[in-house]
Copies of this chain bind each other. A is one copy, B any other.
Amino acid sequence: LKSATEEIETLIALMARLPGLGPRSARRAVLHLIRKRSTLMDPLATLMGHVAEATRECSRCGNFATSDICDICSDPARDIGEICIVEDVADLWAMERGKAFKGRYHVLGGMLSALDAIGPEDIGIPSLLSRIVSEQVREVILALNATVEAQTTAHYIADALREANVQVTSLAQGVPIGGELDYLDDGTIQAALRARKRF
């Protein structure tokens, strides 16, 4: 039988492994949890246990799901003709928050990297390509980051689809809505100038 102090210390150590929480803020969080143990800690534990047990990767797109196919892939209202390619589920969530994309996704889960010896098979590009052909996708939207690896991956996918009857696009680059020029990095300003539009 562990003592209360030991259990609470273990709980603090586990909480401190979450991004954004250090040892000090994990301690404060656990204190808050114990104070609200019936209204917050107990429901949180139950839900966490359930999500941990029920969540898996969608076998089609890599999104999180509670069944073999995720909510988005199994939604008949989503356009099967458009696939948005993202690096990870965080990016998929960000796209969904934008509420502008009505197609489906493909989560790569990683980027090509010569340094880390990550090749096309490691991030499932062959199965992505066959998915695009078999589902008769009209447009592939590359929503990848600006890193060297992500851009290499984007070019690799675009090249591989050159023969297929698919339009390949990527997200526009430019000044964020409400962004102040003074706070933008040089690369963004250069990209926004290159892609300038008639007013």
Contacts and interface: CB of A to CB of B under 8 A. Distances in A.
A4 B49 contact: no
A155 interface: no
Interface in A1-19: 3-5, 7-8, 10-11, 14-15, 17-19
Given A3-B71, A4-B71, A41 B32 contact: no
A84 B188 CA distance: 58
A117 interface: no
Interface residues of A, number: 48
A47 interface: yes
A175 interface: no
A31 interface: yes
A27 B54 CA distance: 18
Interface string A30-47: 011110011011111111
